Amino acid sequence: MITKIILEKELNAEELQNLEILFRETRREILDSFLILTDSPELAGICRKLNMAVAAVLSDETKSFPGISYAVTDVENPDESYLEKIWQRSRKIPWKICVTKRCLVRESIQEDVESFYRIYRDESITAYMEDLFQDKEAELAYIREYIEKIYGFYGFGMWTVCLRETGEVIGRAGLSMREGFEEPELGYVIGKEWQRQGIATEVCRAILDYGRDELGFSQVRALMHPENAASRKLCVKLGFSYGGEVEVEKEVYSRYEILLR
């Protein structure tokens, strides 16, 4: 549960200083429960300095909020789920993307990397896709950067697929942007132990719904090696249509497309 604090009153220098002192004297566990909504760039800067969750309140007056990643325009009737996500991002809590009958799709965390290596160990997994880094520390660094720059900027990407009952990591799936293309790309990998059970179809269908309903996408594509029969079959089952061959970085891929609206 988060505590929203909406501060729209113009604060003078002394009031800002007193508020900063109050924040510094507040126990960290309480401070971490706050989400500050403010139209004051100065107050937003104080919150950022103290590692507090903060969002800028935008109005007709143009203001600059250096270093503040999130904003709201309606503090009377705010989107509570959006505010929750702002708070979670500041506390480095992974966003829950969607839930299916058997699976939970959420943002990846560094602790998932061990499971990724276990899944990618099977040669069939990397037959048509890029492998993980051989150096585990390099993969961990990549995940850290991905969380900060991809999740933080786009709000979507490749996510972790877990079993609902146990929380076990069984794969990855999501939507990503590829250079040279305007529409997002669907991607997935399900560990060999959980293949041929309809899980990929279940998860990818939920992700397409999320892309349409939450992200506002109207079209999604999928690129695959021409010999990747399993992915071709999945795309057809999901409603994708064949869109011809395309060359990307000197590799030829089959392109499939789906309209979501």
Is the full-model pTM beyond 0.75? yes
The three-state DSSP-derived secondary structure of 210-221 is: HHHHCCCCCEEE
Specify whether the CB–CB gap between 228 and 256 falls below 8 A: no
Computed over its alpha carbons, how large is the radius of gyration of the chain?
Answer: 22
Of the chain, the end-to-end C-alpha distance in Å amounts to: 35
Query: Torsion over CA of 18, 19, 24 and 30, rounded to 10 degrees?
Result: 150
Local confidence band at 64 (pLDDT 50, 70, 90 cut-offs) = confident
Centre a 10 Å sphere on the Cβ of residue 96 and count the other Cβ atoms it contains. Answer: 14
Instruction: Please name which of 119, 132, 121 lies closest in space to residue 194, comparing C-alpha atoms.
Output: 119
- Give the C-alpha distances (Å, rounded to integers) separating 149 from 56, 104, 139, 234: 20, 23, 15, 30
What is the per-residue pLDDT across 117-133, written as a single tens digit (0 to 9) for each? Answer: 999 999 999 989 899 99
- In the predicted model, is pLDDT for residue 259 greater than 80? yes
CA distance 102 to 219: 26
Q: For residue 54, with 0-12 CB atoms within 10 Å meaning exposed, 13-18 middle and 19 or more buried, which class applies?
A: buried
* Residue 111: closest CA among 97, 94, 133, 128: 94
Q: What is the pLDDT of residues 165-223, one digit of tens each?
A: 999 999 999 999 999 899 999 999 999 999 999 999 999 999 999 999 999 999 999 99
Q: How many residues does the chain have?
A: 261
Pairing, β 219-224 against β 251-259: antiparallel
Indicate the SS3 state at residue 241.
strand
The pLDDT, as a whole number, for residue 74 is: 85
What is the average per-residue pLDDT within 49-58? 92
Q: What residue ranges in 149-196 does DSSP mark as E strands? A: 158-163, 169-176, 185-190
